[in-house]
Amino acid sequence: MKKVVEVNQLDKSYGEFKAIEDINFMIEENKIYGLLGRNGAGKTTLMKLITAQEFPTGGELKVFGANPEENRSVLSRICFIKESQKYPDNFSVHDILKVSKSLFPNWDEEFAYSLIKGFNLPLKRKPKKLSRGMHSAVGVVIGLASRAPLTIFDEPYLGLDAVSRSLFYDKLMKDYSEHPRTVILSTHLIDEVSNLLEHILVIDKGRLIINDEAENLRGIAYTVTGQAARVEAFVKNKEVIDREPFGGLLSATVIQNKNSLDQNQAATSGIEISPLSLQQLVVHLTKEKSTREGAVAQ
């Protein structure tokens, strides 16, 4: 297993404010990572550190085994598509593709133009004249066609409609299976992409609170719903991360493997057990009243 990114005790402060605090993780080659968290959690800051657009104030960061700062051999292997990516005003979409081709050694011209067609992008139009969704689609095309060994998408689809987002996910999956590479996808549309993601990193207030395989997370939390007293009895001694009462009913969210939940007891008490989606799990773990920081980080 090759390490693409290694982060040890990483800190990034802006003056007194700690945007990233004591983060440790590793990104392996040829996997799709989801970088998730609330607004202002520190996701973009972390991506900027990895791509050497910002510099750490503490700790160690290695990308492809080296410090990425002003390191051409590292940076030439990265494609970072940012939310609201900027392009020169006088460039047409065609010009942007031409420059991209010269920047990315693995660029696939044919793939790029097939994506342009798929997203209905007008080649001669300048960025200022593109709709918001079209503007995002240009970034998506570059990110995919770059085939960069480390491709990072930071909320790449502002304004992209559901059809175009679905096209993005399909193309990403298909191309990734034919040309494996490492992808980091930061998004708030977690349910939409949860099937694509193989490993999940969740940041909350600058700290890493989840670092786990998506598969493991799919089975760690359940919602238990039923008559309030029976639910309370059922969840006694279990780790409850949320309680939502309504009328005489209670919906409690527990962190527990379903296999170790007593299905018979649930059935006889008229309790329903349903798995929490990745999005619900992230919401539960990062909402304000949560005091679970660090609880599930490895």
Ligand X SMILES: Nc1ncnc2c1ncn2[C@@H]1O[C@H](COP(=O)(O)OP(=O)(O)OP(=O)(O)O)[C@@H](O)[C@H]1O
* Residue 291 contacts ligand X per CB under 6 A: no
* Residue 19 contacts ligand X per CB under 6 A: yes
- What tokens appear for 274 in the block? 């349903």
Say how far apart CA 3 and CA 182 lie, in whole Å: 10
Residue placing its CB nearer to ligand X in the complex, 16 or 110: 16
Residue placing its CB nearer to ligand X in the complex, 40 or 180: 40
* Residue 39 contacts ligand X per CB under 6 A: yes
Interface with ligand X by CB under 6 A: which range of 21-29, 32-40, 55-63, 64-72?
Answer: 32-40
Say how far apart CA 134 and CA 120 lie, in whole Å: 8
Residue placing its CB nearer to ligand X in the complex, 54 or 175: 54
Residue placing its CB nearer to ligand X in the complex, 50 or 254: 50
Say how far apart CA 136 and CA 128 lie, in whole Å: 12
Amino acid at 264: N
Residue placing its CB nearer to ligand X in the complex, 93 or 200: 200
Residue placing its CB nearer to ligand X in the complex, 5 or 97: 5
Say how far apart CA 71 and CA 67 lie, in whole Å: 7
Helical ranges in 83-126 per DSSP H: 93-103, 109-118
Residue placing its CB nearer to ligand X in the complex, 44 or 136: 44
Residue 234 near residue 266 (C-beta atoms within 8 A): yes
* Residue 55 contacts ligand X per CB under 6 A: no
Identify the residue among 4, 32, 37, 107 touching ligand X (CB under 6 A).
37
Minimum gap (Å) between residue 11 Cβ and ligand X: 12
Say how far apart CA 106 and CA 108 lie, in whole Å: 6
Residue 68 near residue 74 (C-beta atoms within 8 A): yes
* Residue 139 contacts ligand X per CB under 6 A: no
* β-bridge partners, 270: none
* Residue 253 contacts ligand X per CB under 6 A: no
* Residue 41 contacts ligand X per CB under 6 A: yes
Minimum gap (Å) between residue 193 Cβ and ligand X: 15
Minimum gap (Å) between residue 38 Cβ and ligand X: 7
Helix/strand number for the chain, H first, E second = 11, 13
Residue placing its CB nearer to ligand X in the complex, 69 or 109: 69
Residue 69 near residue 55 (C-beta atoms within 8 A): yes
Helical ranges in 158-277 per DSSP H: 162-178, 190-193, 214-218, 228-235, 263-268
Identify the residue among 31, 45, 100, 200 touching ligand X (CB under 6 A).
45
* Residue 256 contacts ligand X per CB under 6 A: no
Minimum gap (Å) between residue 48 Cβ and ligand X: 8
Phi-psi group of 212: left, alpha or beta (phi > 0 → left; psi -120 to 50 → alpha; rest → beta): beta
Identify the residue among 14, 131, 161, 257 touching ligand X (CB under 6 A).
14
Q: How many other β-carbons are positioned within 10 Å of the β-carbon of residue 297?
A: 17
Instruction: Tell me, by CB under 6 A, how many residues bind ligand X.
Output: 11
Summarize as ranges the residues that interact with ligand X (CB under 6 A).
14, 17, 19, 37, 39-45
